[in-house]
Amino acid sequence: MAAAAAAAAVAACPAPPRRLYCGTALPAPSAAVPCSRSVGYGPSSGTRRWPCRRWAPHRPGAASRIRRPTPRSAAARVSCAYSPGAETITACSWNEYVICSDIPVLIEFWASWCGPCRMVHRIVDEIAQEYAGRVKCYKLDTDDYPQVATSYSIERIPTVLLFKNGEKIHSVTGTLPKSVYVRAIEKSISDSGQ
């Protein structure tokens, strides 16, 4: 039974990182959907010996949720911590994934009918893959979370902000060649002496 649960958990891995459980608008539906229903199981699952036969095969998201409090299975976590491209971030996960991140975070502010944003999307997606593990990349829709955009005085979009240690260290506004973004990232990485 335990093996079955582990298999289910591994199967759930290609979904977005479990650390992003707060994000509501994740692109992959498989993990986001069951989350809301499995929340009730969370506290009691600390015992980690949950008889999961009844529902684990049908709800892979729930299986990963049970596993979350246990510090084991670090290998599985590494293999699925980064999905291709930039992820969507929400206002409620802002503090956790931007302010509290131990690696630099790059955030693109965009809006649905902004033409140049689509070009910047592509660049940010490429950067997310190339710098996987060194820089975290997110996108934030300013129409969905106007309060975040307002608090960082975003006027023109697309605007890309680079955060390190919870502080905004760089801001790029408009559509610029990829090298501009890469240079800012390289600088932030090298400054920390990594």
Toward another protein, which CB reaches closer, 31 or 157? 157
The Cα 3–Cα 132 span in angstroms is 30
The pair of structure tokens assigned to 63 is: 């299986």
Task: Indicate which residue of 35, 52, 117, 137 is catalytic.
Answer: 117
C-beta of 178: minimal distance to another protein in Å?
13
Q: Least distance from C-beta 23 to another protein, angstroms?
A: 19
Residues making contact with another protein (CB under 8 A): 109, 111-119, 142-143, 146, 149-150, 154-158, 174-175
CB 180 within 8 A of CB 171: no
Residue 80 vs 114, nearer CB to another protein: 114
Task: Judge whether 40 and 66 are in contact, CB under 8 Å.
Answer: no
105-110: strand order across its sheet: 87-88, 136-141, 105-110, 159-164, 167-173
Any catalytic annotation for residue 114? yes
Contact 181, 158 (CB under 8 A): no
Shortest separation between residue 37's beta carbon and another protein, angstroms: 24
Other C-beta atoms closer than 10 Å to the C-beta of 25 total 12
Pick the catalytic residue from 13, 22, 80, 114. Answer: 114
Q: How far is the CB of 75 from another protein (least distance, A)?
A: 37
| Closer of 70 and 147 to another protein (Cβ) | 147
SS3 152: coil
117 is an active site residue: yes
Residue with smaller CB distance to another protein, 118 or 187: 118
Q: Decide if 56 contacts 5 (C-beta within 8 A).
A: yes
Residues designated as active site: 114, 117
